């Protein structure tokens, strides 16, 4: 291995920061912008499904390739796909263009996140893995917050059609810079003597249960992902920029908390952080449709983000704890595929509920499923996790 396990791995952080620039603006802008072009909630949900379905297919293949050929160049290739997808977004003027852009973006996301989490797993052990997973998440969110400031500044200065083109042209340039930086700075972390060989994977009960948790949380979260901004815009009749400002405190929380939450999971175990985080997100999500003012949405959504900031690095670290250098890429590929399968089904289901049933039902379903997921995490992992916490907390 090219670096000791106890060393931090700062080289991958800058490319992730740059590659994440479009995330917030895209998540806020895509439903609103495509709705202005005539897309309904089902078509918008389909764009999220196209993204998730691409990752569902690609992530296991990426994981296999990481274990067979190494990590570095797959991580680097992600930023090329990101740059290409930003170019397609910039010039998109019909639904087919948006679906194509989401497909290419899905390839980039598959390459970046599976390889990045595998690299972090390679460079850490049980005593610091949660912290470094959280550090990576926080750096990604910081990049997306800076990118959001750029995009929403443009949106405040010109019509959304013009702002959209310039914003994604800029995001494409930044992603290309991420490609250049990763080529120059990111080194291989795979054990060199094992490149080209694949150790067999034994998927035990704990791994299967973790994949179920990942699927359930991915499906539940995706139920509301493409519709919550539409719902809030319909409810409060506010411009997109004002809605985005309501979510700004949540972004600050997600840009700072994951590293500290990951450290807590290193000290006290993964299960308490995952359970508490998912349960908090569940309660907030179920309450969102009945909040009387956008300020209440801002407050509770900040708590929602805090919940996921607690759960996410601990969940990634838990999988890293269960895997070895020889199988880590494939297992992170399977984990991301489980999340992607849930995320592929959720947006369409949420869009159908929003258009044809009762919009509030999607939020209630999200909260209920997340509460069930939190309970399963505690039941399945708490006893074994007490032993891991004792080891990591020394």
Phi-psi domain of 188 (left: phi exceeds 0; alpha: psi -120 through 50; beta: other): beta
Per-residue pLDDT for 241 more than 80? no
Chain-centroid distance, C-alpha 51? 12
Q: What is the CATH number of domain 10-188+203-392?
A: 1.20.1250.20
- The percentage of residues in the chain with a pLDDT greater than 90, rounded to a whole number, is 40
Residue 376 · residue 212 · CB < 8 Å:
yes
Per-residue pLDDT for 118 more than 50? yes
Structure confidence at residue 394 (pLDDT):
33
Q: How far is CA 300 from CA 17, 249, 250, 277, 388, in A?
A: 26, 10, 9, 14, 32
Domain boundaries along the sequence of the chain: 10-188+203-392
Instruction: Pick the closest to residue 15 from 174, 191, 216 (CA basis).
Output: 174
Average predicted confidence (pLDDT) for the chain: 85
Q: Any idea which residue has 């349960």 for tokens?
A: 279
Residue 273 · residue 261 · CB < 8 Å:
yes
Structure confidence at residue 197 (pLDDT):
61
Structure confidence at residue 383 (pLDDT):
73
In angstroms, the CA 69 to CA 237 distance is 52
**Per residue in 58-88, pLDDT tens?**
989 999 999 888 899 999 999 999 999 999 9
Per-residue pLDDT for 6 more than 50? no
3-state helix, strand, coil in the chain (%, to 5): 85, 0, 15
In angstroms, the CA 216 to CA 57 distance is 18
**Per residue in 206-223, pLDDT tens?**
888 999 999 998 888 888
Structure confidence at residue 192 (pLDDT):
61
Burial of 78 (0-12, 13-18, 19+ CB in 10 A): buried
Q: How far is CA 284 from CA 187, 276, 339, 342, 364, in A?
A: 41, 12, 21, 20, 10
Per-residue pLDDT for 25 more than 80? yes
Confidence category of residue 203, pLDDT binned at 50, 70, 90:
low
């Amino acid at each position: 291995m090219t670096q000791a396990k106890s060393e931090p791995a700062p080289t991958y952080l800058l490319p992730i920061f740059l590659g994440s620039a479009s995330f917030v603006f895209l998540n806020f802008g895509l439903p609103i912008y495509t709705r202005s072009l005539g897309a309904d909630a089902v078509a918008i949900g389909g764009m999220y499904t196209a993204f998730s379905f691409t990752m569902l297919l690609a992530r296991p293949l990426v994981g296999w390739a990481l274990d067979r050929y190494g990590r570095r160049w797959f991580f680097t290739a992600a930023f090329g796909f990101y740059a290409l997808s930003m170019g397609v977004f910039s010039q998109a003027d019909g639904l087919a263009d948006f679906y194509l852009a989401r497909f290419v973006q899905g390839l980039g996301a598959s390459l970046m996140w599976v390889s990045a989490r595998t690299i972090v797993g390679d460079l850490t052990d049980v005593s610091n893995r949660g912290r470094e997973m959280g550090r990576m998440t926080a750096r990604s969110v910081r990049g997306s917050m800076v990118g959001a400031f750029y995009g929403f500044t443009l949106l405040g200065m010109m019509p959304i059609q013009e702002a959209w083109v310039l914003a994604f042209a800029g995001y494409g340039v930044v992603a290309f810079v991420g490609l250049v930086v990763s080529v120059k700075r990111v080194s291989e972390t795979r054990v060199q003597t094992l490149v080209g060989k694949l150790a067999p994977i034994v998927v035990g009960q704990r791994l299967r249960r973790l994949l179920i948790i990942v699927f359930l949380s991915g499906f539940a979260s995706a139920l509301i992902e493409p519709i919550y901004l539409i719902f809030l815009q319909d409810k409060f009749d506010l411009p997109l920029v004002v809605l985005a400002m309501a979510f700004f405190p949540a972004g600050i929380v997600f840009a700072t908390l994951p590293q500290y939450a990951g450290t807590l999971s290193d000290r006290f175990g993964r299960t308490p952080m995952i359970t508490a985080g998912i349960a908090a997100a569940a309660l907030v999500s179920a309450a969102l449709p009945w909040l009387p003012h956008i300020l209440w949405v801002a407050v509770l959504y900040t708590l929602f983000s805090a919940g996921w900031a607690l759960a996410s690095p601990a969940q990634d670290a838990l999988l890293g704890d269960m895997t070895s250098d020889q199988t880590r890429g494939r297992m992170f590929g399977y984990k991301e595929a489980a999340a992607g399968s849930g995320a592929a089904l959720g947006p369409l289901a949420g869009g159908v509920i929003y258009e044809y049933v009762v919009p509030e039902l999607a939020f209630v379903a999200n909260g209920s499923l997340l509460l069930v997921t939190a309970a399963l995490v505690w039941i399945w992992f708490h006893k074994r996790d007490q032993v891991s916490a004792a080891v990591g907390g020394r």
